[in-house]
Amino acid sequence: MPFPPGMPTVLVTYTAANPAGGGPADGTVEFTPVAPAISIPAYGIVFSGSATCRFDTEGRLVDQDGNVGVRLLPCDIPGANPSSWVWQVTINLAGAGPRRFYLSLSTAQAEVDLGNVEQVEPTRSHYVAVPGPRGEPGPVGPQGPPATGAETPAGAQEKVVAHAAARDPHGDRAWASDQFYPLAQGKELDGRLDDLASRVTALEDALAAGRASK
């Protein structure tokens, strides 16, 4: 049964040849989801099971109807359950042992060649082929509403003034007034000290110059 109209799929292709003589390879490729079942509520369907596909006389992978390539479900269909999974791919070619690897397909991919993503190194049998880099970012969406509880400078200043004018039942502000120098007066004092330091430095320089001229 074909996929329902509008269902996102990825065309998976593969061409294999015999290393001795170069003729078309013979064998099968099995595709098995690692998830036991994939529910897609938007289409009212639950997918389950695996598929075993063969090669044609030219060594090309074909589906059960003889079409070149096999259409598979992407692993990131929006709203699917589970939301993310991978395909287990098992390649069985005549005269060679089975090769197994994992494949992640994305709705952003129209077609994938297994020859470009297959991992043939035996020591890395759990390699996961993932989609390539993302495309260009889309346009910026509309600005959302202000964050709840966001403070403005004017609102913060109003709260400070209200707090300073409120009662001081625990004596916190009175205690702080005795412990800390007022900010405005502190800045004024800093300015005067800086000016005094500059004058002292100038006086010391003048005295040093006078002694050097004698």
pLDDT single digits (tens) 135-144: 677 788 787 7
Tens digits of per-residue pLDDT, 80-127? Answer: 999 889 999 999 988 887 888 899 999 999 999 998 887 655 555 444
- Classify strands 51-55 and 27-33 as parallel, antiparallel or unpaired: antiparallel
Inter-residue contact 7 to 43 (CB < 8 Å): yes
Q: Contact at 8 Å (CB) between 15 and 115?
A: yes
Fold of 10-129: Immunoglobulin-like (2.60.40)
- Domain locations along the chain: 10-129, 175-214
Please report, rounded to a whole number, the percentage of residues in the chain having pLDDT higher than 70: 79
Paired sense of beta strands 10-13 and 70-72, if any: antiparallel
Distance from C-alpha of 201 to C-alpha of 61, rounded to nearest angstrom: 89
**CA dihedral defined by 187, 191, 192, 195, rounded to 10 degrees?**
170
Q: Once rounded to an integer, what is the mean pLDDT over residues 53-77?
A: 93
Burial 112-126 (b: 16+ CB within 10 A, else e): bebeebbbeeeeeee
**Average pLDDT estimate for 146-172:** 70
The mean predicted confidence, pLDDT, of the chain is: 81
